[in-house]
Structure 1
Amino acid sequence: MAAVSKYLTAKNSSIASAVLFALYLLKRRRNANKSSGKRGSSELAANHDKDGKKEKAAVDWVFFSRIYRILKIMVPRTVCKESGYLLLIAVMLVARTYCDVWMIQNGTMIESAIIGRTTKDFKKYLFNFITAMPLISLVNNFLKLGLNELKLRFRVRLTKHLYDEYLKGYTYYKMGNLDNRIANADQLLTQDVERFCNSVVDLYSNLSKPLLDIGLYIYKLTSAIGAQGPASMMAYLIFSGLILTRLRRPIGKMTVAEQRYEGEYRYVNSRLITNSEEIAFYNGNAREKQTIHATFYKLVDHLHNFIIFRFSMGFVDSIIAKYLATVVGYLVVSRPFLNHSHPRHQTSSHSELLEDYYQSGRMLLRMSQALGRIVLAGREMTRLAGFTARITELMKVLNELNSGRYERTMVSQHDRESETSEKITLVPGSGQIINTDRLIKFDRVPLATPNGDILIKNLSFEVKSGTNVLICGPNGCGKSSLFRVLGELWPLFGGHLTKPDRGKLFYVPQRPYMTLGTLRDQVIYPDTWEDQKRKGIADKVLKEYLDNVQLGHILDREGSWDIVQDWMDVLSGGEKQRMAMARLFYHKPQFAILDECTSAVSVDVEDYIYSHCRKVGISLFTVSHRKSLWKHHEYYLHMDGRGNYDFKVITAETVEFGS
């Protein structure tokens, strides 16, 4: 009997009640947060007031409706791989529960045979255990297989859905440039999606198995010690679960804040890597270190507060969900044995009492553990609510961006001095885009930035295919804004814009983008090799494009179109600009926008490039300060930066004016 009591004491894991102490501790914790944690809270409020709605992450009906919408994405049909893995996990959980019950019964018989010195029974039940080991091991590992595969399948489904929305049209551009509700989308699409999927599957397992255990052990214990014991444990589960769920509510909000701070910290580090050369020229390492440290310690302060909160909650969890369970367990299991008038054990021998107590105690222990896991699963559910809120917010913003709705928090023009912010919703659609081949026409189009700054109130001009236009003016006058409106990156606030389809416009920036991949990929981007073959363009034609821009030596040097290099580093600035022009020749659009794209190219090569564009029928919109380019254009569009513009034919006088 003493050995059994010692075993139960060593394995105590269940639910117990310390409500007054828990409420007292929570009150102390909140008072401490209001005083010592005031700085971290004020920073959070100051920097992220606009995220107030995002941070509401609690286990309520909103949470369940959110996760239901996401689950419909991850399990799209009744019959699919995901539902198959869900069924496999459920079957394995049932099998594991029955294995546990069998292990309790068989283990009790082995120990009873040892105590009773029955060699025959000992060998029998020990042999049963040995023969059952492979099956039990197979069940456990099939369960792990199902959980890991389900996590991966959920991640694949959710990631594919989010990237389909994120890379639909120009949504990826709009999220970072027109809408500022989502910061660090890269973290949401990668790290947060993974954590969300892992948390969902773990919660499914951590709730399903204990529920099965509770149902089975209640049935077994009711026949062994009566219905009052299991009923008391269930009542305790409900009561303590409500208390702990209420105490854990801040975890969801703190999880959202943690992920946001992690994203900000990653962002400042990625900025340092991306702009390392410019920062090095400025000797800006000290300033960048200050920025990184400020962001890092903001994260550290929050994580410290989170650790303290989890320490406090861990203490409460241990009291409620662990140690007092020993008391509850002893009270429940001892009643039939200490009550001498109980009919079950009036005629039982000492050995029968010991065997019955040992088996009932083990089942009650397993039931207590199952109850404890359900109560403690509330902590993971609260954390899941934080991830769910972030994923839902991302899905909402993606859906609105794809529907043409943007939100941007900015300083209004009349309140800039007082730095009070207002939210302005950009609603495109007041202007009309008309798709027509070989014509670009602006008809009373206001040129405005997403911040609401009006650059030109009414812009009107017309360019037909075969006509080249030079764009000139001071910095900030609207040259880049014009191209963004023309490329449909920015919304149209009014008027009529007549232009070809997106695929018939091509943009060549001053710093061309070199994609990851082969030398061929650099010329045909964004096409793939399959697209090239479908268009019927041979590799020798690509070689001609490289020769046209004096880059044929690169193919000779690398030896193959399929060589893979880090082309951003391998190619010089001038080579990258010429590669971008070879890319232009490959696509042969109706119109091309050249934004200082030959600034690192010699004049003779530049002259050939512009002549070749005219030869193959590519009409150009050029931004350049080189006087030598005026002869390749028929019109110029001059913006003065004060809201005025001129669109005129280029003559000898205008060439002189442009210089």
Structure 2
Amino acid sequence: MKRRFLHQFWQLFRGYWTSEEKWKGCGLLALVIAFNLGSVYFLVRINSWYNDFYNAIQQYAEGQFWPLIGEFTALAFLYIILAVYAIYLRQMLQIKWRTWLTNRFLARWTRGEVYYRLQILRSDTDNPDQRISEDINQFVTLALTLLFGLIKQLATLAAFSVVLWNLSGTFRVPVGSHAFVVCGYMFWFSLIYSMAGTGIAHLVGRKLIGLNFEQQRFEADFRFNMMRVRENAENIAFYRGEQVERVGFSERFAKVIGNFWQLMRQTKLLNFYVNGYGQIALIVPLILAAPQYFAGTMALGGLLQTVSAFGRVQDALSYFVSSYDTIAQLIAVIRRLVGFMDHMAEAEAHEEKIVWKEAGEALALEDVSVTLPDGRTLLAHVTFSLARGARLLITGASGCGKSTLLRLLAGIWPYGMGRVVRPAESRVLFLPQRPYLPLGSLRRALYYPLAASGTEARLKTALETVGLAALVPRLDVIDDWSRILSLGEQQRLAFARVLLVAPDFVFLDEATSALDEPREEELYALLRRKLPAMGMVSVGHRSTLRAVHDEELMLEGEGKWKVCPIRS
């Protein structure tokens, strides 16, 4: 499992660095690394300055004071420039990497109806929108922060280990009649101290990984519940369902707070340890260097330089201790993204058993069986054809597979087997019970999924024909039209869309359920009159629909079906 996780992480991480943008990314990466190494160089110079400056202070060398202050000012100025631009360029790299990764995830999520298959598979991929928008941003930010932090600390360790080794001198450990001489003893103490500290930090903080993962999930569920209320505000208001919704909010928010309390308690333990670990590291170098200072073999400047060097080495060796919380967050984010990738792969890997062929002038099903994702059969061995201009009505009891068959005919239901023949380059349009109206102008909503390219006269005629002439002056108004228009108005707008798109075949899934019967009959007659060559497949329960269709496909349950002509 861990090997697979590491493999997925590597695939997630390496994609950008082997992509078509790799040279830009690697160039920025090299610059940031160079700036970080440069800042480490100036830290070493400032560390040496401590020795000269405090020795001058101890010796009351006033003539050296102001030149040393000037030297420090120059070193500090150059260090600040490098540090600021290192962060700026890192953020620039972060934008480019996030943009590339987001585009790849969006392309994969929207390709081949993966976003739809994830829903019908009922996978545990919760809130894919959050994973693409927030988790990718966190992954890139945390990965770069830790990567450059690690590189800087390694450079710091390499530079200051030499300084600390040279400043430490030797330490004699008497054992009986012999004495062992330890060279660079302060460096070895720092190494042992930090290794022990890292191991203890992992024991104390490892629960944070799972808690961070759960916190992100609970926060997303809470936000999604509020979004659902906003999208269904009118229905909830009709039902007076505010109290029930508040209970739902409270339940989800309780999970957010409950998990956060656990996160707080675990973080408190880790902070106790990290702060205690850091405070002990401040006093230890003074204790270790004190014998040399009081023996007169080390000046004040050397003492302070040693303390500074020990602190830098200790910080570098303790990088994983101080960054443990950040590492835990990164692991939680990686798990969410890897899980999302796994579920997308599962949706992509579905073996398509329905053979699609472009031929002839009719839409035909040849020995087609329709199944559910779990393999259960809804319809068995369906065979019929729909010529251009023909009207087919699909009827049957609820749950027998009417809408699912319609989805298969529209080409979005992949679960089944058999052969579907469709005329070459034919266009199809699907009208669900609640039409989809994208955010934007009414003009865009009318032409969806095509680009808005019709003339004003054509748009005006289409709206007037379906009884929506009042909307003509508002064609370029940008708003949430699914909230503004009633369901009946939305269904009439969908019929106007059919007139504008003029598909070869249209599939209507109870697309007139919110309309009265005279209006329903009028709209069906309108399609027959305006688009006589268009094939039509409808799902509905009203008996009045029989009068506007030529044949009826009756689904009888348990996979059985039959096709009957409708007598006028």
Q: Does the alignment reach a TM-score above 0.5?
A: yes
**Is 1:313 matched with 2:259?**
no
What runs of 5+ residues in structure 2 fail to find an aligned partner? 170-183
Does the 8 Å contact 2:525/2:548 carry over to 1?
Answer: yes
1:610 corresponds, among 506, 524, 547, to 524
Q: Which residue of 1 aligns with 2:193?
A: 236
What TM-score results when the alignment is normalised by the length of structure 1?
0.77
631-640 vs 195-204, greater mean Cα deviation? 631-640
Q: 1:431 to 1:518 in 2, by over 3 A?
A: closer
Q: Would you say how many aligned residue pairs link Structure 1 and Structure 2?
A: 551
Does the 8 Å contact 1:441/1:498 carry over to 2?
Answer: yes
Does the 8 Å contact 2:390/2:536 carry over to 1?
Answer: yes
2:560 corresponds, among 641, 644, 647, to 644
Alpha-carbon deviation of 1:618? 1.4
Alpha-carbon deviation of 1:626? 4.3
Structure 1 Cα separation of the partners of residues 3 and 285 of structure 2:
34
Summarize deviations over 1:51-80 as a string: whole Å, max 9, x none: xx8xxxxxx655543332111223234843
Task: Describe the SS at the equivalent of 1:515.
Answer: coil
Task: Describe the SS at the equivalent of 2:364.
Answer: strand
Q: Which residue of 1 aligns with 2:174?
A: none
Structure 1 Cα separation of the partners of residues 518 and 197 of structure 2:
82
Alpha-carbon deviation of 1:463? 1.5
Q: 1:512 to 1:571 in 2, by over 3 A?
A: same
* Percent identity between the two aligned chains: 24
Letter in 1 for 2:224: Y
Letter in 2 for 1:583: R
Summarize deviations over 1:149-176 as a string: whole Å, max 9, x none: 2222222122111111101021111111
Letter in 1 for 2:495: M
Task: Describe the SS at the equivalent of 1:510.
Answer: coil
Alpha-carbon deviation of 1:262? 2.1
Summarize deviations over 1:102-131 as a string: whole Å, max 9, x none: 233335544444444333322212223334
Letter in 2 for 1:395: M
Alpha-carbon deviation of 1:443? 2.8
Q: 1:132 to 1:501 in 2, by over 3 A?
A: farther
**Is 1:76 matched with 2:18?**
yes
Structure 2 Cα separation of the partners of residues 69 and 482 of structure 1:
38
What runs of 5+ residues in structure 1 fail to find an aligned partner? 1-52, 54-59, 347-351, 405-427, 653-659
Alpha-carbon deviation of 1:90? 0.7
Tell me: higher relative CO, structure 1 or 2? Use CA pairs within 8 A at least 6 residues apart.
Answer: 1
Q: 1:571 to 1:310 in 2, by over 3 A?
A: same
**Is 1:549 matched with 2:466?**
yes
Q: Which residue of 1 aligns with 2:175?
A: none
1:208 corresponds, among 151, 176, 179, to 151
463-472 vs 308-317, greater mean Cα deviation? 308-317
What TM-score results when the alignment is normalised by the length of structure 2?
0.89
**Is 1:290 matched with 2:236?**
no
Structure 2 Cα separation of the partners of residues 324 and 63 of structure 1:
37
Structure 1 Cα separation of the partners of residues 190 and 425 of structure 2:
66
Task: Describe the SS at the equivalent of 1:117.
Answer: coil
Summarize deviations over 1:406-453 as a string: whole Å, max 9, x none: xxxxxxxxxxxxxxxxxxxxxx44443334353222233233333444
Does the 8 Å contact 1:438/1:590 carry over to 2?
Answer: no
**Is 1:619 matched with 2:535?**
yes
Task: Describe the SS at the equivalent of 2:18.
Answer: coil
Structure 1 Cα separation of the partners of residues 220 and 229 of structure 2:
14
Q: Which residue of 2 aligns with 1:579?
A: 493
Does the 8 Å contact 2:355/2:420 carry over to 1?
Answer: yes
Q: Which residue of 1 aligns with 2:260?
A: 303
Q: Which residue of 1 aligns with 2:319?
A: 373
Does the 8 Å contact 1:73/1:157 carry over to 2?
Answer: no
Task: Describe the SS at the equivalent of 1:495.
Answer: strand
Q: 1:202 to 1:391 in 2, by over 3 A?
A: same
> What is the alpha-carbon root mean square deviation over aligned residues?
2.7
Alpha-carbon deviation of 1:327? 5.1
Alpha-carbon deviation of 1:502? 9.2
Alpha-carbon deviation of 1:507? 0.5
Q: Which residue of 2 aligns with 1:568?
A: 482
Q: 1:194 to 1:501 in 2, by over 3 A?
A: farther
Task: Describe the SS at the equivalent of 1:168.
Answer: helix
**Is 1:467 matched with 2:390?**
yes
Q: 1:503 to 1:620 in 2, by over 3 A?
A: same
Summarize deviations over 1:482-527 as a string: whole Å, max 9, x none: 1122223323333333335797221112211111112220121122
Q: 1:572 to 1:286 in 2, by over 3 A?
A: closer
Letter in 1 for 2:45: W
**Is 1:392 matched with 2:338?**
yes
**Is 1:86 matched with 2:9?**
no
1:234-633 counterparts in 2 under 5 A? 234-319=191-276, 321-326=277-282, 328-334=284-290, 336-337=292-293, 353-404=299-350, 428-436=351-359, 438-500=361-423, 504-529=427-452, 532=453, 537-555=454-472, 557-558=473-474, 561-601=475-515, 606-614=520-528, 615-616=530-531, 617-633=533-549
Q: 1:238 to 1:435 in 2, by over 3 A?
A: farther
Alpha-carbon deviation of 1:641? 4.2
Structure 2 Cα separation of the partners of residues 82 and 596 of structure 1:
51
